[in-house]
Amino acid sequence: MAALDAGLAGRESQKRKAILFSIGLILIIALALGLGLGLTVGRKSDDDDKDEPPAPSPTASPPPRAKWKPAVGDKWYIMLQADLGIITTEDVKVIDLDLFDRSEEWINGLHKNGKKVICYFSAGSYEPWRPDAGDFKDEDIGAVMDGWPDEKWLRIGSKNVRKIMAKRIELAHQKGCDAVDPDNVDGFQNENGLGLTAEDSVAFVKFLSATAASYNLSIGLKNAGDIIPDVLDFVDFSVNEECVEYAECETFQAFIKAGKPVFHIEYPVIENTTEVGWSTTTVQKYCSHEGNAKGSEGFSTVLTTMELDGSIQYCD
């Protein structure tokens, strides 16, 4: 026992020495850095060195904000690719825009006009043009997405992928978004080349939800009809594409029953290119609650183009 105590005491004092040494080292480094910075700043002001990038201003964290809960029937507008300026249309309450492409000032502008902002990013696909694309590892990148030749499925259970997505959610918080719209969480319903399962998607959505919750951000479930019962309690709204086209709107009624909106998009073909927008017949087909649109009661529906270029047709 005594020997053990002595051993422990010895280790304790070694530890203390190590700590003191570390503190000393940190002080020396800090001093060196301080001097270095001082010299750099001095040289810059003297020589006006234009090659040096300006020092980044410290990113101030936005003030704490309560979580926004979207309501069933909220009118919305989605413009991922469009640069249409600030939407001021009175009855449109919610705007879904691209997290990376739109600035904090843009989002502020929408807030000043009383809008809530959902920030879109792809959580489950690799997009080579994004600023953080270099952070992904080759082993986490799977098959090319059907219909989106520039994107590939991601291994959503990967620690590294999750780290990148957590940073994207933090960026949404920094930019002042009210909610996030993480796309492509339904790899298991597609050829993904990574063997992704429904369980993988459930776990991933719960991870995204917990991360968003730490910033008081609302979060949507994009498509992924098969896992609604597993994750409904962890998300605040649905973003659905083409449930009328595929006659599956009833699947998403679970959201309406839970008091959560379904932000619903259809991409009808504009048959007559000499006319602006869609024909009355087309609008009827996608909006009336008969036929394929059965089960879309209460949804916040928009008709738009596949390019999400800002063309919008509402049902009312």
- Which residue, 67 or 75, has its beta carbon nearer to ligand NAG? 67
Amino acid at 201: S
Give least dist CB 211 to ligand NAG, A. Answer: 12
Work out how close the CB of 133 gets to ligand NAG at its nearest, in angstroms, rounded to a whole number.
Answer: 28
Classify residue 108 by burial, with Cβ atoms within 10 Å: 0-12, 13-18, 19+: middle
Q: Angle, nearest 10°, between helix axes 198-213 and 159-175?
A: 40
Q: How far is the CB of 215 from ligand NAG (least distance, A)?
A: 5
Tell me the number of residues near ligand NAG by CB under 6 A: 8
Which residue of this chain has its Cβ atom nearest to ligand NAG in the complex? 64
Which pair of structure tokens corresponds to residue 166?
């957590």
Sign of the C-alpha dihedral, residues 193, 167, 183, 298? Answer: positive
Within its chain, how far is the Cα of 89 from the centroid? 24
In total, the chain counts a number of residues equal to 316
Nearer to ligand NAG, 103 or 272 (CB): 272
Residues 28-67 that bind ligand NAG (CB under 6 A): 64-66
- Closest approach, Cβ 281 to ligand NAG, in A, equals 10
Q: How far is the CB of 63 from ligand NAG (least distance, A)?
A: 7
CB 262 within 8 A of CB 315: no
Q: Which residue has the tokens 């089960």?
A: 295
Kindly write out the interface string for residues 280-309 of this chain, putting x where it contacts ligand NAG by CB under 6 A and - elsewhere: ------------------------------
Single out the residue of 77, 126, 153, 215 in contact with ligand NAG (rule: CB under 6 A).
Answer: 215
Among 47, 51, 275, 290, binds ligand NAG (CB under 6 A): 275
Burial 240-272 (b: 16+ CB within 10 A, else e): bebbbeeeebebbbebbeeebbbbbbbbbebee
Task: Select 197 or 216, whichever has its Cβ closest to ligand NAG.
Answer: 216
Min dist CB 216 to ligand NAG, Å, is 4
Nearer to ligand NAG by Cβ, of 14 and 216: the residue is 216
Chain centroid offset of residue 198 CA = 20
- The contact mask relative to ligand NAG for 105-134 (x = CB under 6 A, - = no) is ------------------------------
Q: Binder to ligand NAG among 148, 216, 246, 307 (CB under 6 A)?
A: 216
Cα-flanking dihedrals φ and ψ of residue 217, to 5°?
A: -95, 135
Contacting residues for 223 by C-beta, under 8 A, at least 6 apart: 185, 186, 189, 239, 240, 241
Near ligand NAG in 243-272, by CB under 6 A: 272
Per-residue contact flags (x/-) with ligand NAG for residues 65 to 94, judged by CB under 6 A: xx----------------------------
For residue 193, what is the DSSP state?
S
- Least Å from the CB of residue 304 to ligand NAG: 20
Cα Rg of the chain (Å, integer): 25
User: For binding to ligand NAG (CB under 6 A), which residues are involved?
Assistant: 64-66, 215-216, 272, 274-275
